[in-house]
Amino acid sequence: MTKFIFVTGGVLSALGKGLAAASIGRLLESHGYKITLQKFDPYLNVDPGTMSPFQHGEVYVTDDGAETDLDLGHYERFTSTQTTKANNWTAGKIYEIILRKEREGKFLGKTVQVIPHVTDEIQKSFYAVANNNDIVIVEIGGTVGDIESLPFLEAIRQMKLSLGSDVIFVHLTLVPYMQTSGELKTKPTQHSVKELRAIGIQPDIILCRTDRPLNKDIKGKISLFTNVPLNAVITAKDVNNIYEIPLHFAREELDLIILQRLGLKPKTRDLKKWTTMVRHMNNPRDEVNIALVGKYAGLQDSYISLNQALFHGGAAHQIKVNISWIEAEELENGSPEKILQEADGILVPGGFGVRGIEGKIQTVTYARKNHVPFFGICLGMQCASIEFARNIAGLQDANSTEFNKETPHQIFFKWRELKGVFDLGGTMRLGRYSCTLEKGTLAGRIYGKNEIHERHRHRFEFNPEYESRLREAGLVISGKNPDHDLVEIIEIKDHPWFLGCQFHPEFKSKPLEPHPLFTSFIGASYAYRCRKKTS
């Protein structure tokens, strides 16, 4: 029988339910149990693919091409689970299924209601990932008390009624410290649990987000007013490094409490590799400065997988990675030499739209001319290709149709415009695609294999009509999709490290398995830093 852990949140949003759920998954895997994680969001969008990064943060992409919530990235980074479309649900997605069934007459004329039809559909989604897993950890988005979350909370209440001890509830709340009185306040937690109990859910475990350890008296007060055993009131203390969270929870024996509540036997907890990784991250031998030139630099959640992949690459060398957030538009109005002079490596990430494009192209020029390690991802590869076409191949008006539909030299154009040539469906290339690497290239040396598989999320492709012309000018095309002959990776010669890729390698990087491109990029950036010091 598969066990279920439902993680809810109270008091306010952004307390870190996703990280808490992922950390619980890490701990349970350390006992040898097979787990998976799900995220349920109460908003009515069918998926986050069309939502602004400023509102929702990064859109994470799975191998099967699902555009999902960013917390699925935490799930995959912290655990060995590989998420799919079945691991992320929204209220919009649930209602879409129900309304389609109603239109098809599958309810046989019955009145379609939140209970039981919506709650039944939500419960079906829980079971969709249960097969072959010992434990399913489900994060319910939103905050207890929000009207949008009520159908999901009702569904998990019904799950407890059906499955009894095979279901437990973990509730994350806030215990703030009042500077004026010098006290930790438990009242927000008390009220949050009261809201939860009012709809029929009694938490088994409370995770108390706080900036300092909770003493026994504070925990005792929370235990008394929430009807949760004292040992199940857990300190969820703020950390500088998110990968410390499972270790903090382990010290509070959260994993043992969960296993006991679920009727599962604890095994020998194995966190040796995880502990070593955290130690390397927290005790670097040196540092490196990476300039990240994007259009959402004001909101770091827009590039959360990218940030983490850079940190993973640094940990592989035991080097601290300092990220400088630079708005691409700043480079259009200022001097790249002044803005980028402290950078040991430059990264231009993915994105959509014309804003800041010329600033990114100027960034590429600076990196190419000054031999600064450069990494262009998705949109960054577009910019690198356009910069090369303009300044090396002599195609002065070269551009992408995404930025200028009237350009005489369409170095990149839309996926749908390729349909006539390659008979491809859809307007966006999403999910896992293969790539064949050229031997002897930078990419070939980094990966050490002939074929790789990476995740994509983009609409615009390298125009094959310009491939031979740019090759003749010196562009190295080191990776191509073998199914449709699409360009996947570009490089330039006579540069210490210059690479652009059409895919998003950050989605496959883990702290215990850093992505080879990020490991190599950080290594090259550190070598550049060392050369600067000695020159």
The amino acid at residue 390 is R
Nearest to 88 by CA among 138, 26, 154: 138
**Given 208, 378, 383, 501, the catalytic residue:** 378
φ/ψ (deg, to 5) at 112: -90, 125
Q: How far lies 415's CA from each of 11, 427, 457, 470, in Å?
A: 44, 6, 11, 20
Contact 449, 523 (CB under 8 A): no
The span from the CA of 150 to the CA of 132, in Å, is: 29
Strand 475-481 with 486-492, pairing: antiparallel
Tokens matching residue 81:
């689970």
Contact 174, 193 (CB under 8 A): no
Cβ neighbors of 72 (< 8 A, separation 6 or more) are 37, 39, 60, 62, 83, 87, 88
Give the residues across from 322 on adjacent strands. Answer: 289
Give the residues across from 177 on adjacent strands. Answer: 184
The span from the CA of 48 to the CA of 59, in Å, is: 6
The span from the CA of 412 to the CA of 433, in Å, is: 19
**Residue 191: Cβ-neighbour burial (10 angstroms; 0-12, 13-18, 19+):** middle
Nearest to 26 by CA among 248, 331, 178: 248
The span from the CA of 407 to the CA of 403, in Å, is: 9
Is 378 annotated in the active site? yes
Determine which helix (DSSP H) or strand (DSSP E) holds 293, and give its type and residue range: strand 286-294
Place of tokens 């980074």: 77
Cβ neighbors of 532 (< 8 A, separation 6 or more) are 344
**Given 154, 327, 506, 515, the catalytic residue:** 506
First and final CA of the chain: distance in angstroms?
A: 64
Active site residues: 378, 504, 506
